[in-house]
Chains A and B, each alone.
Chain A
Amino acid sequence: MSVTPLTAKQLTRKIIEKEALFILDVRNEDAYSDWKIEGEKVTSINIPYFDLLDGVEEVIKKLPADVPVVVVCAKEGSSIMIADMLAEEGQDVSYLQGGMKAWSEHLEPIKVGNLNDGGEIYQFVRIGKGCLSYMVVSQDEAALIDATRMTDVYIDFAAALGVKIKHVLDTHLHADHISGGLKIAQATGGTYWLPPKDAENVPFSYEPLEEGKNLSIGNTTISIQPLYSPGHTIGSTSFIVDQSFLLSGDILFVDSIGRPDLAGLAEDWVGDLRETLYSRYKALSSELIVLPAHFMIMDELNNDGSVSASLGDLFEHNHGLNIDNEEEFRKKVTAHLPPQPNAYQEIRELNMGKIQKDSEEQREMEIGPNRCAIR
């Protein structure tokens, strides 16, 4: 029987297309319970590879006959070993190339809309970690929002479209993932924009994102309007693109809202968060399509794998937008917060340019699930 490698991209497509899959995750139990591959038609079990060194006969009994089996580990080495052992026992099996490391880094670009002048907006779904970044394209120019550290993906994508990256923006100082914004701006000659309140004393130069300042790309009317919306970090900013799309950063998600504590100031910022969500966003058109910087659960994915919803829908269905009592809201977002993201303090410092890490260290810092939201 044969062993087939499966790339993170192939696995992503299978999950988006809701193909049934059976995942045998052979990492240790802590790693699995912290963070694993999920999907509507994905079933997974966890048996550490070191418990299978003496043979896989027992595991084979647990594998389904009619669903493809994928072996997954941290980097791929152990999954290849176990897949080989399974194949020797007559099981058809594949393994995830590059393991969870590759899974954490894969970005799937999906077009989420057309702009009025013929431009387009793309969402880059980082399916393994729940991060969403965006490329707005008009004529031969592009703007990039909340880019991850996998900078080549965006640069290559822009090159394939034949557009030049003119502006690179971060909605806020990220605490859960490492920003690729500055690096991309430097590589492409674009301008890097940050909210000044999140960027105090950074050692690099940037353009301050301030309310009322409009950016344009292409020759036409597309504008990006920074909308100051503190709450997750003091400088958090939202953008409205082409009067149709609300890029809400880490303030508002499809099924949850931002947490105010990742810079240690939950009590101070909860008022800002409420003001943003219940007054500023309320005043915007309910037709706006909300494009957040994260998703938390696979249920938030639309049928095409993208993550979006109209602002009107969210005011109806998102629990975080429907807590009338202010005191109850304060309790909800400051008490019982989920665990903080892996290495979030270091990630903040890295994003501020205050520390340097090599690529292997950056990878380690980002391991694990996204935890930016409160459901």
Chain B
Amino acid sequence: MIETNERLDAKGLACPMPIVKTKKAMNGLEPGQVLEVQATDKGSTADLKAWAESANHQYLGTVEEGEVLKHYLRKAGTDESLEKNHEPVASNEELKNKLGKEGILVLDVREKAEYAFNHIPESLSVPLGELDSKAESLDKEKEIYIVCRTGSRSDLAARKLTAAGFTKVINVVPGMSEWDGPTNSL
């Protein structure tokens, strides 16, 4: 099961209702939060994808379970516009060369649903919102490469870890939005 902030039941509803309800549900979410939409209308996949694009939300993916389509959407966030302050920074290319090496940890701070559909193999998923409580369990000796979609949430995460006493923290820019290295998904 993929963790989300909200779930919408649009099962049994015909077009246009799944989108009408999704739009309403999105209005109630905070920027960056993730919504699961359960629908049975086959056309809902193409329409949700197209709608998300036109409304600037992020369409993460769809899982088919029998008759039910589970769509995952992330509300347009404000994080992408944040300044990036943390040093050092690594490019996607630099991280690609480090993969598989001893002594590194790839920490993915995106939401669980974003991670589910597309992530770097061996990376550890700790959404930004859970980082404070989970920082304790991370290995301070390792070089920690932090990734998110665009490098903004990971910048914030890198600063949090630095403040918590981590010294080998590297922000990966831009991150998954332009990642062309190996990935895993569901």
Q: Report which A residues bind B (CB closer than 8 A).
A: 28-31, 48-51, 53, 73-75, 77-78, 81, 364
Min Cβ gap A346→B in Å is 16
Determine whether the beta carbon of B43 is less than 8 Å from that of A50: no
Task: Count how many chain B residues have C-beta atoms less than 8 Å from C-beta atoms of the other chain.
Answer: 15
Bound form: Cα–Cα A51–B54 in Å: 8
Determine whether the beta carbon of B23 is less than 8 Å from that of A74: no
From known contacts A77-B16, A81-B16, infer whether A50 and B23 are also in contact, taking CB-CB under 8 Å. yes
**In chain B between 54 and 93, which residues have their CB closer than 8 angstroms to a CB of chain A?**
54-55
Determine whether the beta carbon of A50 is less than 8 Å from that of B54: yes
Min Cβ gap B53→A in Å is 9
Bound form: Cα–Cα A340–B46 in Å: 20
The list of the 5 closest CB pairs from A to B, nearest first, reads: A28-B50, A78-B16, A50-B51, A77-B15, A50-B19
Q: Quick one: which of B14, B15, B20, B55 has the most chain A CB within 10 A?
A: B15
Determine whether the beta carbon of A73 is less than 8 Å from that of B15: yes
Determine whether the beta carbon of B14 is less than 8 Å from that of A75: yes
Q: Which residues of A contact B42 (CB under 8 A)?
A: 364
Bound form: Cα–Cα A258–B14 in Å: 38
Min Cβ gap B157→A in Å is 34
The answer, yes or no, to whether B47 is at the interface (CB within 8 Å) is yes
The answer, yes or no, to whether B17 is at the interface (CB within 8 Å) is yes
Min Cβ gap A32→B in Å is 10
From known contacts A30-B46, A50-B19, A364-B42, infer whether A77 and B14 are also in contact, taking CB-CB under 8 Å. yes
Q: Map CB proximity to A onto B1-34 as digits: 1 under 8 Å, 0 otherwise.
A: 0000000000000111101100100000000000
Q: Which residues of A contact B15 (CB under 8 A)?
A: 73-75, 77-78
Bound form: Cα–Cα A60–B23 in Å: 23
A-B contact count (CB 8 A): 43
Determine whether the beta carbon of A28 is less than 8 Å from that of B16: no
* A-B contacts, 21 listed (Cβ < 8 Å): A28-B46, A28-B47, A29-B50, A30-B50, A31-B46, A48-B47, A48-B50, A49-B16, A50-B19, A50-B47, A50-B51, A51-B54, A53-B20, A73-B16, A74-B43, A75-B14, A75-B15, A75-B43, A77-B14, A77-B16, A364-B42
Q: Map CB proximity to A onto B137-153 as digits: 1 under 8 Å, 0 otherwise.
A: 00000000000000000
Bound form: Cα–Cα A77–B15 in Å: 6
Bound form: Cα–Cα A79–B169 in Å: 53
Min Cβ gap A104→B in Å is 14
Bound form: Cα–Cα A122–B165 in Å: 84
Q: Which residues of A contact B23 (CB under 8 A)?
A: 50, 53
A73-B15, A75-B14 known; 16 other A-B pairs, CB under 8 Å? A28-B50, A28-B51, A30-B46, A48-B47, A48-B50, A48-B51, A48-B54, A49-B16, A51-B51, A53-B19, A75-B15, A77-B14, A77-B15, A77-B17, A78-B15, A81-B20
Q: Quick one: which of A50, A77, A78 has the most chain B CB within 10 A?
A: A50
Q: Which residues of B contact A74 (CB under 8 A)?
A: 15, 43
Q: Which residues of B contact A51 (CB under 8 A)?
A: 51, 54
Residue of B nearest to A360 (CB): B42
Residue of A nearest to B54 (CB): A51
Bound form: Cα–Cα A30–B43 in Å: 12
Q: Which residues of B contact A30 (CB under 8 A)?
A: 46, 50
Residue of B nearest to A74 (CB): B43
Residue of B nearest to A49 (CB): B16
Min Cβ gap B115→A in Å is 27
Q: Map CB proximity to A onto B32-54 as digits: 1 under 8 Å, 0 otherwise.
A: 00000000001100110011001
Residue of A nearest to B46 (CB): A28
**In chain B between 109 and 142, which residues have their CB closer than 8 angstroms to a CB of chain A?**
none
